[in-house]
Structure 1
């Protein structure tokens, strides 16, 4: 087993394990096959963790590849909207084969080749541009890629330069970059903004801090319009991302309810939506009705 918890069949055989021992370990539920010749301890893993293990195995099997697109985004910690992680995305000079590989024949400038945690990947800026131009989620997917990239320190100037070259999807990506904002803190908020932009709604303030009449901090909004209407995306992270160890998920829900009540007491109209509302396109009609009631529209 290497330092990442991967068992490579060839290495195991070299140090004295037999093929039968490995097969029996799989049958007993001790190991599971990740890819041909690649095993890992049987455990519950997130799709992201599994994808990263496959990426490491791909680099070991094909040392000349560079991880790119959705896979490079995983390595950079770049959240995307509905990424396809069924295959490891790589840039190759020569054709490579692999059940879980998605190969791209692209020219990668030297300045956009980096190594992170031992993995060769495209730079943060090129990763965001590639993801934005190839996303299946259109403008919303491109906006999410650029919001996330700006939030973790990507250079907007470098990304604009990368978008000067004509390529499929570049038009949508250029528009998304000009409207991108690092204050969108997760893909749900980016998707919400994309729907607002497409609906022609007034641009909200992002992450505005509200205080009561005594100057005490009430809370920070995801979106607000003139301090009259607040829009809140209710993602799972709102309730668990900021747990301090002593607080339970139920405590976090109660904390959020108290925050909501204090905003309402301050005379602010609060409208909330979740991922299902974005999927079904229910968010915009609800938001339009609330903005109209609040005199914003």
Structure 2
């Protein structure tokens, strides 16, 4: 079984880490039977909660931490196989995004997706979706010994079926990590010309920006656009004379916008520091920015769901208010 690397969110869809998923491997039924286990023993251990079934004939101890995170659990189901797997198919759609290590924020992970190069023959069950669609050799790559659709094809596929905000989160991350470039995305859209959902995919992928550095920043970009606010500059450097004050998430003339995700404070941690030190460092940074006459507007995760209050604060700041 190949080495799979997945994106593991830290909390509530916040940016997490990439980590290998190859230890310990999923325990597959044929190997367990060969090692002396019986089907009866497997059933008893599942009923008692000691083992959890993962995919088709795969098991893990219930204490395995990968079962807690949706993306990590999905990667395990890919690893263990699924009922609709076909020899001529490759991992695709949101499952490919998981394998590529992209943040699958707010995307359904109930089904493992695969695609094969056929015009017909797609099938779907509660746990798997086998797509039948044209698939060129150049749209397939290998990740950890597993065949998956390329990042460009993956984003085009998800872009045709998922919401605008979810697609922007994925595309921003892919561009920021240099897993894909805008030209490759355009080519993927051209190859899908005429397919259902391509206009929606084009809108989301053309909105994507490599400068967004987190799920929260990508969602903020969407919220700012939906509120009808002016387009901000991203990752703007702020200086006072020759003194560098820092880099801000969003900037307009005279106004700074900062998405205040808890992961942000990790940027300021030095060896031996604790999170309180990081918060204090951020407060000092903001004070220096305000001293330059810039108005600072902050928002947090919960406010992304009800951005109206934030947009009003930004409008007042842009109009010169406090």
TM-score (norm 2): 0.80
Bigger fraction of residues in strand: 2
Is the CA contact 2:84–2:128 (under 8 Å) kept in the aligned structure 1? no
Measured at CA, do residues 163 and 61 of structure 1 come closer, stay the same or move farther in structure 2, by a change above 3 Å?
A: closer
SS of residue matched to 1:207: strand
Superposition pairs for residues 205-284 of structure 1, below 5 Å?
Answer: 205-213=233-241, 215-226=242-253, 228-240=254-266, 243=269, 246-282=272-308, 283-284=310-311
Corresponding residue for residue 50 of structure 1: 73
Q: What is the CA RMSD across the aligned residues, in angstroms?
A: 2.7
Corresponding residue for residue 121 of structure 1: 148
Q: Which moved more, 1:28-37 or 1:201-210?
A: 28-37
Superposition pairs for residues 55-70 of structure 1, below 5 Å?
Answer: 55-58=78-81, 62=85, 63-70=87-94
Measured at CA, do residues 152 and 44 of structure 1 come closer, stay the same or move farther in structure 2, by a change above 3 Å?
A: same
Q: Partners in 1 of 2:146 and 2:282 — Cα distance?
A: 39
Shift of 1:185: 1.0
Corresponding residue to 2:55 among 35, 41, 44: 35
Corresponding residue for residue 19 of structure 2: none
Which ranges of structure 1 fall in alignment gaps of 5 or more residues? none
Measured at CA, do residues 271 and 97 of structure 1 come closer, stay the same or move farther in structure 2, by a change above 3 Å?
A: closer
Corresponding residue for residue 86 of structure 1: 110
Which ranges of structure 2 fall in alignment gaps of 5 or more residues? 2-21
Is the CA contact 1:56–1:119 (under 8 Å) kept in the aligned structure 2? no
State yes or no: 1:204 paired with 2:228. no
Measured at CA, do residues 19 and 245 of structure 1 come closer, stay the same or move farther in structure 2, by a change above 3 Å?
A: farther
Superposition pairs for residues 87-236 of structure 1, below 5 Å?
Answer: 87-92=111-116, 99-135=126-162, 137-138=163-164, 140-153=165-178, 154-164=180-190, 165-213=193-241, 215-226=242-253, 228-236=254-262
Higher relative contact order by CA 8 Å / sep ≥ 6: 1 or 2? 2
Shift of 1:4: 4.6
Corresponding residue for residue 320 of structure 2: 293
Q: Partners in 1 of 2:145 and 2:125 — Cα distance?
A: 21
